Amino acid sequence: MAQAESRAYWKCKTCNFTIYASVPPDTCPVCRNQCKFKDITCYLPECGGPAYIDPRLK
């Protein structure tokens, strides 16, 4: 079975819109800004692994 595509949680710095995708969109679909999406994925076992959002970054 193939490994699932590695995806991450991305949060728009402007409006806090969060999307789960392999790469963040160029333009935020909510605030329509070319905002910098921040990777808020959990990479530690403490918050559940990469299927979850790191609560410290949210």
> What residues line the site for Zn ion (CB under 5 A)?
12, 14-15, 17, 28, 30-31, 35
- Give min distance, CB of 13 to Zn ion, in A: 8
Look at residue 45 and give its three-state secondary structure. helix
Per the structure block, which two tokens stand in for 34? Answer: 């070319």
Name which of 34 and 46 has its Cβ closer to Zn ion.
34
Only one residue has tokens 């808020």, namely 40
Residue 35 corresponds to which amino acid?
C
Chain-centre distance of CA 51, in angstroms? 10
Please report how close the Cβ of residue 27 comes to Zn ion at its closest, in angstroms.
9
Q: Minimal distance in Å, beta carbon 16 to Zn ion?
A: 7
